[in-house]
Amino acid sequence: MIEPRRLRVALLGAGAVGSQVARLLLAHADELADRAGAPLDLVGIAVRDVDAPREADLPRELYTTDADTLIAGADIVIEVTGGLEPARTRILHALASGADVVTANKALLATHGSEIFDAADQVGATVAYEAAVAGAIPIIRPLRDSLAGDRVRRIMGIVNGTTNYILDRMDREGLGFDEVLAEAQRLGYAEADPTADVEAYDAAQKAAILASLAFHTSVPLDAVHREGITSVDAGVIEAARKAGYVVKLLAVCERLVDQPDAAPTGEAISVRVYPALVPREHPLASVHGANNAVFVEAEAAGDLMFYGAGAGGVQTASAVLGDVVSAARRHVAGGPGVGESTRANLPIVPIGRIRTSCQVTLEVDDKPGVLATVAGILSDGNVSIATVEQTTSGDAVARESGDAVAHLVIGTHTAREQDLADTVERLAATSAVRRVVSVLRVEGD
Amino acid sequence: MIEPRRLRVALLGAGAVGSQVARLLLAHADELADRAGAPLDLVGIAVRDVDAPREADLPRELYTTDADTLIAGADIVIEVTGGLEPARTRILHALASGADVVTANKALLATHGSEIFDAADQVGATVAYEAAVAGAIPIIRPLRDSLAGDRVRRIMGIVNGTTNYILDRMDREGLGFDEVLAEAQRLGYAEADPTADVEAYDAAQKAAILASLAFHTSVPLDAVHREGITSVDAGVIEAARKAGYVVKLLAVCERLVDQPDAAPTGEAISVRVYPALVPREHPLASVHGANNAVFVEAEAAGDLMFYGAGAGGVQTASAVLGDVVSAARRHVAGGPGVGESTRANLPIVPIGRIRTSCQVTLEVDDKPGVLATVAGILSDGNVSIATVEQTTSGDAVARESGDAVAHLVIGTHTAREQDLADTVERLAATSAVRRVVSVLRVEGD
């Protein structure tokens, strides 16, 4: 029997994910060899400082600061360092030297994806990135392979564990945003600087990656409309609950049809990230804690959902290893890798031109004529009202004195986002409207 | 540029799934060619009667009764006829002639899987079967590829849409089994002869396939412990609800450790299908209607869930086409297919020797000493009680006359199944116990 070729695996990075990848590669060497069709030799781990203290107990001699030499001699390069540079340069180097690449680097793919996938195409190599979106949850491979004979209509993803943890705690315990954020930071669910999570930069990167893959279109990060969750307060959550919704930060990737400007097919896409109202009976509504889930509506397959842990070193390492095994099989079998397709290259519609339905919550003077004024502004703005609920907090005395406040919760039919934005601006400028409390889109209805 | 080789695709069967596969192959030919790396030519559809009336409007000349000639000239053979023969012979024929095979035939794989996978291995071909388990939901590929670097501990699957529809309706509407079954038959969710579904033969086949794949072990169908849902009546569902559970027909595939008889690793597996109590907050509890879901607990990835439509012609066709695209890519790239691994070949532990926790509901005489008797029998049988709830329906007069009935709902700690079975038998033979209403395992706690 011919001894199968051994594959040389180089690991870039030894942080929370990298150390787990290394541990699993060594601990499960026999099983991995069996599944990959060849033994996988971890030949080195590139780090900045060989002597830094590390969690995992790995052989000292694996560490090296010479990433270039390590990459040059590898069949498979695993990049789990994060950040744009030197990750980008190193991945391009690995591809140029004939290695397949496995990466968990969402920021890099969302920013330089086209360049990297083009480079891989040139040499017929694979860039696998299951770990870049939704941690351990298999979503990249199902979208690329399982649904290869289908057409994706829409993706709604809870792809950021930190914000889901925060919104879920607020919903379940009735707590305020700041309180829960502080708790999440204490527990390690949120960073000391939570901007990337709570302002939805992280979710936007994942949305760009998912949309690119699902719609065969290169989606640059700045084409993703992004709104964070910092304006979602306890009152908004409470009002959502009463109306039968839960607030989730959603990455929405949508195929639009009958777009007048999108010749020749009339198809275009919208990619957006914002806090949205999800009906309580929707499968995404029961995604609790720091979990992630990606809900996919496909033409033939119907509705699918993929659920699991969105982060964590060992969970993410599981996704990395699945990719390593696939890359190894390809290396053994030969033949080109599966390239990224930008065949469709659908136009990306700016947020102002898509249609959504919303729930607008206003704090208004509790006096006669206010509802008529508000309804008139909506009607003038081409925003049609589906439901209205008014609650009054003031008593008769307050009402007499003109100090009474009422809350108006207005559900709209689908309207053009630009019309909605203009209308909300006009509402905010109306004297009877004290405050626009929130404007939340409804998704998954 | 070199014209890529065209691939010849033969379709066996033109029923609900087959007609949708053919329709999608023709309608999306360009997209499929792009994704597969070669144009896919549907060269023929083997049917029993060329002139039979059919739903789909496909070119007449595609139909043929000569399956053998069709298969002999094909690169990829899609088998969606169902049943054991002639499906088995035709698939073996296809593999022997060098074709890759895509099948949705769960009964065949659960019964003759080893023979078919061995035949594929011999020639380095692929047998892909995403559509055989849980319809459109990508579960085979995630288990085989995405989790290739991980280890599955446990799978809990709702893999039969008919029974989930029935149990869900009973739970949500408080209806009885017979009533809901009749309704399901009217709506086409259940067959005129519902045996395969309600007696869990269908779920058992899927359990065998999932366990074989997840544990790298050939699991024969008769090693799957099987109990149907016909004894689950409205009272059982109601009692489950009160206790915070929902009743689901679960396929459970479990890796057991520290098994004394399982040298050298101490590892073994259990594969079983039965109605079980699932806590209401478990993700599987919110799988409604005829949907399917597969919950996977993996060592590194943690908990994952895959959710979607479990059946339906076009949904299943989506899964078939994903497999066709992968098979086509392999055909274009060359190299061997991914074989089935039975490397681990773990022993399969009979149901009597595994440990579960249960809820036992008894109808007993409402008189002094009965609880003590019951508790004594449980204790003698090595079944330790975790919770007891007694409800009395009789009034004082009935109690005086000895006619009063009480219900005892006993939750056990984990116990050996054989001990539990023996104990339930002793309870049933006790004069104070009028009836053993139900014995349901608790899963997902």
ipTM value of the model? 0.89
DSSP reduced 3-state for A386: strand
End-to-end C-alpha distance for chain A, whole angstroms: 59
State how far the alpha carbon of B76 is from the alpha carbons of A111, B14, B60, B95, B260, in Å: 39, 16, 21, 9, 46
On whether the CB atoms of residues A360 and A442 are closer than 8 A, the answer is no
3-class SS of residue A439: strand
CATH of domain B7-136+314-333: 3.40.50.720
Backbone angles phi, psi at B214, to 5 degrees: -70, -35
| % of chain B with per-residue pLDDT over 90 | 71
Res B413 pLDDT > 90: yes
Domain coordinates of chain B in residue numbers? 7-136+314-333, 140-311, 352-442
Does the beta carbon of A264 lie under 8 angstroms from any beta carbon of chain B?
no
In chain A, % of residues over pLDDT 90:
71
Taking the Cβ of residue A10 and every Cβ of chain B, the question of whether any pair is shorter than 8 Å is answered with no
Say if CB A136 and CB A312 are below 8 A apart: yes
Contacts of B336-340 with C-beta under 8 Å, sequence gap 24+, read: B336/A333, B336/B124, B336/B125, B337/B100, B337/B120, B337/B124, B337/B125, B337/B126, B337/B127, B338/A329, B338/B126, B338/B144, B338/B145, B339/B117, B339/B120, B339/B121, B340/B113, B340/B117, B340/B120, B340/B121, B340/B127, B340/B212, B340/B213
Q: Do the domains at A140-310 and A351-442 have one common CATH topology?
A: no
**Cβ-defined contact of A332 to B334 (cutoff 8 Å):** no
Mutate to test the interface with B, among A102, A146, A282 (most CBs of B within 10 A): A146
**Cα(A173)–Cα(B220) distance, integer angstroms:** 48
Report in angstroms the alpha-carbon separations of A296 from A22, A139, B47, B275, B424. Answer: 32, 10, 34, 29, 45
3-state secondary structure of A119: helix
Tokens of B55: 């739903």
Averaged over A210-224, what is the pLDDT? 94
Which helix (H) or strand (E) element contains residue A399?
helix A396-401
| Chain-chain contact of B149 with A300 (C-beta, under 8 angstroms) | no
B374 touches chain A (CB under 8 A): no
What are the tokens at B153?
């501990």
The answer, yes or no, to whether the previous bond of A86 is cis (omega within 30 of 0) is yes
More confident residue, A78 or A28: A78
Structure confidence by residue, pLDDT tens digits, B30-63: 888 888 889 999 999 999 998 888 877 888 899 9
Residue A243 pLDDT = 87
DSSP letter assigned to residue A142: I
**Chain A residues touching residue B139 (CB < 8 angstroms):** none
The pLDDT value recorded for residue B44 is: 96
Nearest to A322 among B146, B308, B321 (CB): B146
- Please judge whether A35 and B150 are an interchain contact, meaning their C-beta atoms are less than 8 angstroms apart: no
Report the Cα–Cα distance between both ends of chain B, in Å, rounded: 59
CA distance A414 to chain B (A): 27
* Contact of A124 with A183, CB cutoff 8 Å: no
Can you tell me the mean pLDDT for B278-287? Answer: 93
In the predicted structure, residue A15 carries a pLDDT above the cut 80:
yes
For residue A377, the 8-state DSSP code is H
More confident residue, A262 or A355: A355
The CA distance from B436 to B422, in Å, is 13
By Cβ distance, the residue of B283, B302, B334 closest to A335 is B334
Contact A145/B326, CB-based, under 8 Å?
Answer: yes
Nearest residue to A28 (alpha-carbon basis) of B177, B216, B307: B216
* Region of poorest pLDDT, from A356-360, A392-396, A440-444, B20-24: A392-396
Average pLDDT, chain B: 91
CB B394 within 8 A of CB B366: yes
Are residues A326 and B28, on separate chains, in Cβ contact within 8 Å? no
Using alpha carbons only, give the angle A402, A407, A409 rounded to the nearest 5 degrees: 150
Mean local confidence (pLDDT), B424-431: 95
- Please state which architecture CATH assigns to domain B140-311: 2-Layer Sandwich (3.30)
Phi/psi at A133 (5° precision): -125, 125
A388 pLDDT above the threshold of 80: yes
Mean pLDDT, chain A, integer: 91
Q: Among residues A113, A64, A96, A152, which one has the least CA distance to residue A344?
A: A152
What DSSP character marks residue A42? Answer: E
CB A253 within 8 A of CB A154: yes
Q: Tell whether B262 is in a known binding site.
A: no
Say whether pLDDT at A311 is over 90: no
Of B198, B168, B177, B183, nearest to B287 by C-alpha is B168
- Give percent of chain B above pLDDT 70: 96
pLDDT tens digit sequence for A263-274: 778 899 999 999
User: Residue B315 and residue A300: Cβ atoms within 8 Å?
Assistant: yes
Contact call for residues B274 and B153 (beta carbons, < 8 A): no
| CB-CB neighbours of B54 under 10 Å | 17
Q: What CA–CA distances, in Å, run from B84 to B89, B91, B114, B194, B279?
A: 9, 11, 14, 19, 37
CATH 3.30.70.260 at B352-442, yes or no = yes
Sort A405 into a burial class: Cβ within 10 Å, 0-12 / 13-18 / 19+: middle
Size of interface A-B (CB pairs under 8 A): 186
Q: How far is A41 from chain B (nearest CA, A)?
A: 14
**Whether A367 is catalytic:** no
User: What contacts B355, CB < 8 A, 6 or more positions away?
Assistant: B414, B415, B416, B417
- pLDDT at residue B445 in the model: 83
Q: Which residues of A touch B326 (CB under 8 A)?
A: 145, 148
Question: Contacts of residue B334 in chain A, CB cutoff 8 Å?
Answer: 333-335
CB B130 to CB A136 under 8 A?
no
- pLDDT for position B201: 96
Interface test with A, best of B23, B133, B144, B145 (most A CBs within 10 A): B145
Beta strands at B127-128 and B76-79: parallel, antiparallel or unpaired: unpaired
Residue of A100, A140, A145 to mutate when probing chain B, most B C-beta within 10 A: A145
B292 CB near a chain A CB, below 8 Å? no
Q: How large is the average pLDDT for residues A79-83?
A: 93
- Greater pLDDT, B245 or A396: B245
**The pLDDT value given to residue B399:** 65
pLDDT of residue B56: 72
**Annotated binding residues of A for NADPH, as ranges?**
106
Greater confidence (A3 vs A219) lies with A219
Residues of A (123-182) whose Cβ lies below 8 Å from B: 130, 136-138, 141-142, 145-151
- Give the Cα-Cα-Cα angle A206, A212, A218 (nearest 5 degrees): 120
Average pLDDT over residues B229-250: 92
Q: Is B264 on the interface with A (CB under 8 A)?
A: no
Region A140-310: CATH code: 3.30.360.10
Q: What confidence tier does B375 reach under pLDDT thresholds 50, 70, 90? A: very high
Beta-carbon separation of B136 and A298 below 8 A: yes
Distance CA B267, CA B254 (A): 10
- Radius of gyration in angstroms for the set of CA atoms belonging to chain B, rounded to a whole number: 25
The pLDDT confidence band at residue B322, using thresholds 50, 70 and 90, is very high
User: For residue A1, what pLDDT is reported?
Assistant: 46
Q: Do B148 and A326 touch (CB under 8 A)?
A: yes
- Number of Cβ within a 10 Å radius of residue A131: 29
Cβ pair B309:A302 closer than 8 A: yes
Ranking A27-31, A33-37, A390-394 by mean pLDDT, the lowest is A390-394
Could you write out the three-class secondary structure of chain B?
A: CCCCCCEEEEEECCCHHHHHHHHHHHHCHHHHHHHHCCCEEEEEEECCCCCCCCCCCCCHHHEECCHHHHHHCCCEEEECCCCCCCHHHHHHHHHHCCCEEEECCHHHHHHHHHHHHHHHHHHCCCEECHHHCCCCCCCHHHHHHHCCCCCEEEEEEECCHHHHHHHHHHHHHCCCHHHHHHHHHHHCCCCCCCHHHHCCHHHHHHHHHHHHHHHCCCCCHHHCEECCCCCCCHHHHHHHHHCCEEEEEEEEEEEECCCCCCCCCCCEEEEEEEEEEEECCCHHHHCCCCEEEEEEEECCCEEEEEEEECCCHHHHHHHHHHHHHHHHHHHHHCCCCCCCCCCCCCCECCHHHCEEEEEEEEEEECCCCHHHHHHHHHHHCCCCEEEEEEEECCCHHHHHHCCCEEEEEEEECCEEHHHHHHHHHHHHCCCCEEEEEEEEEECCC
Percent of chain A with pLDDT over 70: 96
Q: Which residues of A contribute to the annotated binding site?
A: 12-19, 106, 191
Identify the pLDDT of residue B75.
95
| d(C-alpha A82, C-alpha A140), whole Å | 18
How high is the pLDDT of residue A337? 65
Q: What is the pLDDT of residue A222?
A: 94
Alpha carbon distance B2, A390 (integer Å): 68
Please give the CATH number for the structural domain made up of A351-442: 3.30.70.260
Whole-number Å distance between alpha carbons of B42 and B40: 6
User: Residue B396 above 90 pLDDT?
Assistant: no
Q: Is B401 exposed, middle or buried (0-12, 13-18, 19+ CB in 10 A)?
A: exposed
Please tell me the predicted confidence (pLDDT) of residue A336.
65
Which range, B122-136, B252-266, B269-283, is most confident?
B269-283
Q: What local confidence, expressed as pLDDT, does residue B1 receive?
A: 47
Whether chain A has a CB inside 8 Å of the CB on B104: the answer is: no
